[in-house]
Amino acid sequence: MHSFHYQNGSLHCEEVDLNQVADVHGTPAYVYSANTIRDHYRRLDQAMAGVNHGIEYAVKANSNLSVLKLLVEEGSGFDIVSGGELRRVIEAGGDAGKCTFAGVGKTREEIEYALQQGIYCFNAESEEEVAFINQVAGEMGVKAPVAFRVNPNVDAKTHKYISTGKSENKFGVDFVGIEAAYDRAASLPHVTLKGLQMHIGSQLTSLQPFVEAVEKVTPLALSLKSAYGIEFFSIGGGVGIVYDPALESGKPEWWAAQEEEHKPLTIEQYVAGVLPTLEKTGLKILVEPGRYIVGNAGVMLTRCLYEKKGSAKTFRIVDAGMNDLIRPALYQGHHDIVPLNEPRDAAMTQVDVVGPICETGDFFCQNADLPDFSPGEAIALMSAGAYGFVMASNYNSRGLPVEILVDGSDAKVVRPRQSLDDILASEKAVL
């Protein structure tokens, strides 16, 4: 659930009128709900209360310092995939000792920085990487905590770009070779084998792939615990969110009305499905949620500039583009589009909502039946809290959007809108 709803004819985030946000701060703008983030974190933490566990929020989903600070205050650990993300966690008040460092291409500088900061564990993706970590740690006179990421060859049944647990994906060590990899790593003098990690993909809406992966990998975790004394088993993240219908899914009554066989996967169902197997291991269980925590905690606001009626289609051209939110172009990702002014009737209009970028792929929806809105009016693209701003760019020399965090009745700018002067400053300095 989430905290976006119509109130007095205007879309609100918690107690804040988003029409006023758009008027005061301009568009495009990302708006995040602090209470939604807290609620999602607490629900997961409570669901896992029966087992020794740690929540490692996946920073790549949304790395704004104020979002990270909220999660630090909740007691979260962090799953990072770069030295830059580790720096962000530390700047937000987080502890490197509660961070796991994933990713297939860690550099020397990143490994050194993580070791200097006291990283909890490197989740290594290959034997070559572990050998290099061993070398760097030896040169620094320390021992590096390491876990291998195992690729369980389980089909997550999600988009091919966000499936990570099959043997043809670049991630992890093949399941058939993982025990031999641990055996060879155990002989390295400058690493300590600390755990085992897996992650099969993102935006999973079915329980079955999670259960299949956990049941397949748990015996391996037990074997490694016996052989090398590992202390944790990280099962990754990947729990999906409701993109459609996003606005309605914020209400408890919407969830209550869903037929059981069609109800989206809840965090309680997810934990209930995997915990009976995991609790038998006696290991600390780590989870790495990203999208689940922040996806439906954010929207992107954009204003309609023009309506263009062609012979084949009607286009609504808005001031946000694929540089601001690339998911529809990159993943064919769906984002519900709702006017900030509550529709007065159920009439729908078929339109393409497109941006100003000079690319045919610059669209947010095509041939979609939407409530009517006119040039000058603002709309919200729902479910934009994850993989939204973090994937934004300066393509077409466009500035990055403003980010705003709402907490109750308070709306705070947590990253100012980027100006053209900001974009050009470093280049002008060397002219």
pLDDT > 90: percent of the chain: 90
pLDDT of 304-327, one tens digit each? Answer: 999 999 888 999 999 999 999 999
Domain ranges of the chain: 4-13+22-28+296-428, 34-291
If residue 406 lies in a helix (H) or strand (E), which one and from where to where? strand 402-407
pLDDT band at residue 331 using 50, 70 and 90 as cut-offs: confident
Q: Supply the pLDDT for residue 201.
A: 87
pLDDT band at residue 430 using 50, 70 and 90 as cut-offs: very high
Q: Is 358 a catalytic residue?
A: yes
Sheet holding 10-13, edge to edge: 4-7, 10-13, 16-17
Q: Supply the pLDDT for residue 165.
A: 40
Q: Is 306 annotated as a binding residue?
A: no
Q: Supply the pLDDT for residue 427.
A: 96
pLDDT of 124-172, one tens digit each? Answer: 999 999 999 999 999 999 999 999 999 988 765 544 444 444 445 567 8
Q: Is 238 annotated as a binding residue?
A: yes
| pTM flag (> 0.85) | yes
Q: Is 417 annotated as a binding residue?
A: no
Q: What is the bridge-based pairing of β-strands 191-197 and 232-234?
A: parallel
Catalytic residue among 13, 121, 358, 365: 358
Q: What is the CATH number of domain 4-13+22-28+296-428?
A: 2.40.37.10
Q: Which tokens sit at 250?
A: 């914020």
pLDDT of 373-418, one tens digit each? Answer: 999 999 999 999 999 999 999 999 999 999 999 999 999 999 999 9
Q: Is 270 annotated as a binding residue?
A: no
pLDDT > 70: percent of the chain: 96
The mean pLDDT of the chain is 95
| 381 Cβ contact partners less than 8 Å away, ≥ 6 residues apart | 299, 300, 301, 302, 320, 325, 335, 336, 337, 364
For residues 193-202, average pLDDT? 94
Residue 415: exposure state from Cβ atoms within 10 A (0-12, 13-18, ≥19): middle
Render 150-194 in DSSP notation, one character per residue: EE------S-GGGB-SSTTSSSSEEGGGHHHHHHHHTT-TTEEEE
pLDDT of 347-377, one tens digit each? Answer: 999 999 999 999 999 999 999 999 999 999 9
Only one residue has tokens 């205007």, namely 10
If residue 45 lies in a helix (H) or strand (E), which one and from where to where? helix 34-47
Other CB atoms within a 10 A radius of the CB of residue 50 amount to: 10
Say which CATH class 34-291 falls into.
Answer: alpha beta
CA neighbours closer than 13 Å in the CB half-sphere of residue 136? 21
Q: Is 316 annotated as a binding residue?
A: no
Q: Supply the pLDDT for residue 254.
A: 95
pLDDT at 224 over 80: yes
**387 touches 425 (CB < 8 A):** no
**235 touches 152 (CB < 8 A):** no
Q: Is 401 annotated as a binding residue?
A: no
- E-strand stretches of 65-126: 77-80, 99-101, 121-124
Q: Is 215 annotated as a binding residue?
A: no
